């Protein structure tokens, strides 16, 4: 805790070398990605929309970063809601956070390969199974500092939000949002997920323009290749 003290600023400085963009997966595309995983890796079972969305963005990021070492271990982390997974359970009127970090890992070589999406889906699905165990909650909080310190300096995709969060359904008095952006994406390689405005899932990114252009071409290319599934 002493070595990772938070910095407090009323005006956090956003990186000047990055641009934001939102990528969208339709319901139809999500179903095709699920079918792809079920065909290629039946042992995973029927993957969730969260699993295939995280796996697709993770593998596309790896494919757009070809200069990395193939043996390098890369991580994808996401908060997991643990309110209903404690023993004894939290009271029904509890209002507050109760989450741990899902931590999926795979090598850069596997993620960028021809079956990178399937490898990513397997890693995320396995991490979900581990994270939802009730014993994992207490284990995480007892060892939180050690667990997170191990990720320091590593290549990590931090997922914020959730495929179940409907940001476009919120109305604060001036009508539903037309475009939702999350400031988290400007820092630390974070990707934001939420329900799409009309359907599917939105993914918010922030990265240098040239890198974002390359990622965009990879993201759309592999959706097109597998559009006939």
Number of domains composing the chain: 1
Report yes or no on 4 lying in a domain.
no
pLDDT tens track for 7-21: 666 666 666 778 889
Q: Rounded distance, CA 162 to CA 168, Å? A: 13
Report yes or no on 5 lying in a domain.
no
Judged by DSSP in three states, 24 sits in strand
What's the DSSP call for residue 208?
-
Please give the mean pLDDT across all residues of the chain: 85
pLDDT tens track for 34-77: 999 999 999 888 899 999 999 999 999 999 887 778 888 999 99
Residue the block writes with tokens 């023993």: 87
Which CATH number covers residue 115? 3.30.559.10
Report yes or no on 6 lying in a domain.
no
Report yes or no on 13 lying in a domain.
no
**In DSSP terms, which residues pair with 161 in a beta bridge?**
193
Higher pLDDT among residues 69 and 199, named by residue: 199
Range of the domain at 69: 20-87+96-168+178-225
Residue the block writes with tokens 């559009």: 227
Beta strands (DSSP E) in 13-163 are 19-25, 73-81, 99-107, 155-161
What's the DSSP call for residue 164?
T
Report yes or no on 210 lying in a domain.
yes
pLDDT tens track for 102-139: 999 999 999 998 889 999 999 999 999 888 775 667 77
């Amino acid at each position: 805790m002493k070595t990772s003290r938070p910095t407090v600023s009323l005006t956090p400085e956003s990186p000047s070398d990055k641009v934001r963009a939102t990528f969208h997966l339709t319901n139809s595309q999500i179903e095709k990605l699920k079918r792809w995983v079920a065909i290629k890796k039946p042992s995973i079972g029927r993957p969730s929309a969260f699993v295939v969305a995280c796996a697709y963005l993770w593998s596309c990021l790896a494919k757009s970063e070809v200069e990395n070492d193939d043996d390098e271990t890369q991580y994808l982390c996401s908060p997991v809601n643990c309110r209903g997974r404690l023993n004894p359970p939290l009271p029904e009127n509890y209002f507050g956070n109760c989450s741990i970090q899902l931590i999926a890992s795979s090598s850069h070589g596997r993620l960028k390969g021809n079956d990178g999406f399937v490898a990513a889906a397997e890693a995320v699905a396995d991490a979900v199974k581990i994270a939802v165990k009730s014993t994992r909650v207490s284990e995480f909080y007892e060892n939180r500092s050690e667990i997170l310190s191990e990720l320091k300096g590593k290549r990590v995709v931090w997922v914020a939000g959730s495929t179940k969060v409907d940001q476009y359904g919120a109305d604060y008095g001036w009508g539903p949002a037309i475009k939702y952006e999350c400031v988290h994406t400007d820092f630390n390689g974070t990707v934001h997920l939420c329900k799409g405005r009309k359907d599917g899932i939105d993914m918010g990114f922030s990265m240098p323009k040239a890198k974002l252009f390359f990622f965009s071409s990879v993201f759309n290319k592999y959706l097109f290749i597998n559009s006939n599934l």
